Amino acid sequence: MNTRPAIESSNNPVALSASLNQDASCFVVGLDTGFCIFNSELCNLVHSRDFNGGIGAAAMLRKTNFIALIGGGKQPKFPPNKVIVWDNAKEKVAIQLPFLGTVRGVKLSETHIVVALQNSIHVYRFQYSPKLWAVFETADNPLGLCCLTPKILIFPGRTPGQVQLVELSTGNVSIIPAHGSSLRAIDISRDGEVLATASETGTLVRVFATSNCARIAELRRGVDHATVYSLSIAPLGQLLAVTSDKSTLHIFDIPHPSKPPRADATNATRRLTSQGGGSAALSDAETSQKWGILGRIPLLPRVFSDVYSFASAHFEIGDEPDFGGSTPLNSPADSGFRPPKGVIGWTSDHSLIVLGAGRDGRWEKFIIAEGEDGKRYCVRDGWKRYLGIS
């Protein structure tokens, strides 16, 4: 007699990926059945498409109907070695780009399509018959790391820990020795002037000016090793958000090479009258003053004098099971299928969202606000489970 418990069946979709468009006004979720698009500010469903097949990753443009799709999940809609550019207005495939290896990531701009493979980056001119513009070799890039602005493309270098910066107008390539170990997360500001990087170690985040590749800041996320999930620079390029498997969202001040230092008074959206009531508001001491007078004593370990976040808050990771041992497009090939968590998007310079995929797909909104003590806090302002929203 079979005494095994029945496997619970569910008609609810599973979110395989979540990503934001260029200005973070919308986010697109790849499902095991298709994809859906939400408004970022309120998490309202804007559009959904049922393919009866999995979409492992998706990238969308800010003001067009084109969405780049990569098959994924147990029953992928498209082969894992193809990028499909879907025309949402005409409801049909507009472009197909086949490759010899598995596609790890894709980015779109109004002028370019960038495809990340395990050891290379392929750049195309965005047109109905895309022309290959360049191919760049990289170190192993299982996460498909790359960032694209109208003028600059960044991705891992040939040596682990390096970043390649490409000027799209000239094709000039610069190499930045960012870390001593492989990159885990990268981001570039919307104006293309500031670059942030984190490595597999997860303790330090480094910030560079793209104009001369000089390091302009080094920030300490923490002392213990952590897996950084996401880096995101605020619209004006003077705040940086970081999430990790510590289930903590950190907010840092960062310098901008062409702007004066940001005044504390401009950072807050409102004055908090209370930090109670489960708002998840946490604050570190003032930036670079976490350890007080210890930070000014010579010969002590550098962790006492490093620059720390000025505020932090808890975000939900959940306890997602492995989905049948599948390998997602945003995870190393030797890992079980863990849905992405902690994906950050700034909707303004004082408001950001954090996304998590999986069966328990979550949207969380945070604000940067000033307390009665004059310090800035990161406060959760709302949350939803976006799967099942109609």
| Structure-token pair, residue 306 | 């490093």
Digit-coded pLDDT (tens) for 97-109: 999 999 999 999 9
Q: Which residues of 136-162 are buried (b: 16+ CB within 10 A; e: fewer)?
A: bebbebbbbbbbbbebbbbbbbeebbb
pLDDT tens digit sequence for 100-134: 999 999 999 999 999 999 999 999 999 989 999 99
Task: Using a pLDDT cut of 90, give the percent of the chain over it.
Answer: 73
Q: What is the pLDDT of residue 262?
A: 67
Instruction: Specify the long-range contacts of residues 298-307, CB closer than 8 Å, at least 24 apart.
Output: 303/220, 303/223, 306/204, 306/218, 306/219, 306/220, 307/217, 307/218, 307/219, 307/220, 307/252
Please, what CATH class does the domain formed by 180-390 belong to? mainly beta
Residue 102 has which token pair?
């598995």
The answer to whether the beta carbons of residues 196 and 207 sit under 8 Å apart is yes
**Closest by alpha carbon to 22, among 191, 170, 136?**
191
Residue 79: pLDDT band with limits 50, 70, 90: very high
Q: pLDDT tens digits for 143-183?
A: 999 999 999 999 999 999 999 999 999 999 999 999 999 99
- Structural domain spans, the chain: 180-390
Give per-residue pLDDT as tens, 2-40: 444 444 445 678 999 999 999 999 999 999 999 999 999
pLDDT mean across residues, the chain: 86
Q: What is the pTM of this model?
A: 0.87
